[in-house]
Amino acid sequence: MREIDFMGVLHKSTQRDYLARVNDSDFPKAKAAKLAKKYDFDYWDGDRRINYGGYQYIPGRWEKVARKMIETYQLNDSSKILDIGCGKGYLLYDFKKILPKCNIFGLDISNYALEHCKKEISSNLIYGSSCKLPWEDNYFDLVISINTFHNLHCYELEQSILEMERVGKKHKYICVESYRNEEEKANLLYWQVTCESFYTPKEWDWWFKKCKYNGDYSFIFFE
């Protein structure tokens, strides 16, 4: 395993008011979380005080991540790529832009996201759970999961990491939210609306080793 930061540049581009998130009069934290965990309109395209506030495709935003992964993992037009928790499929769409003949697959539990995905790749995205992936062993050249596994309870997390390891060959990448100190822990608790697994990097490492995960990873910190 190795730590590789593919996501830091995107995460740090967003400004956050942690206290406002908690104390909002219309969408206090508990109400926002209840709405967000439906992973429906409110989560993706509703009020910014609930979650994304409009999750739209921005040309170039995900392309820089795709290019860095392609370079790091030496992917080509014959590569098979799976995104667990693909949402609207923007990263997969940009993989396809760069490698037009590559085989992309996405899985998500949000019907809303799949219905509002990039139409050019809609046939490549399916509804399903990360706990049981519908592909054979060692099927993919790269399996990624970005900002998804921290939304799972521990019993789901273990099975999902095991499944990710099962369907991937050599290259895998997980990005999750984490914290290194009490300030970052408080900010994470204030800001997140769907997180169920609150772990430090050391605790995440314990999970990876327990599940015999041998891929790469990175963490999102709320500084």
Domain spans of the chain? 53-183+198-221
First to last CA, the chain: 25
Q: Are 133 and 80 in contact (CB under 8 A)?
A: no
Provide the CATH topology of domain 53-183+198-221.
Rossmann fold (3.40.50)
Residue with tokens 């100190």: 181
Q: For the residues of 47-113, what is the DSSP string, one character each?
A: -TTTS-S-----TTTTHHHHHHHHHHHT--TT-EEEEET-TT-HHHHHHHHHSTTSEEEEEES-HHH
Q: What is the pLDDT of residue 23?
A: 84
Q: Find the Cα–Cα–Cα–Cα dihedral 172, 177, 181, 183, rounded to 10°.
A: 160
pTM of this structure: 0.95
Packed helices 63-73 and 90-98: angle between N→C axes, nearest 10 degrees: 60
Q: What is the pLDDT of residue 94?
A: 98
Q: What is the pLDDT of residue 13?
A: 64
Which pLDDT tens digits describe the chain residue by residue (223 residues)? 899 999 987 776 677 888 888 889 999 999 999 999 999 999 999 999 999 999 999 999 999 999 999 999 999 999 999 999 999 999 999 999 999 999 999 999 999 999 999 999 999 999 999 999 999 999 999 999 999 999 999 999 999 999 999 999 999 999 999 999 999 999 999 999 999 999 999 999 999 999 999 999 999 999 9
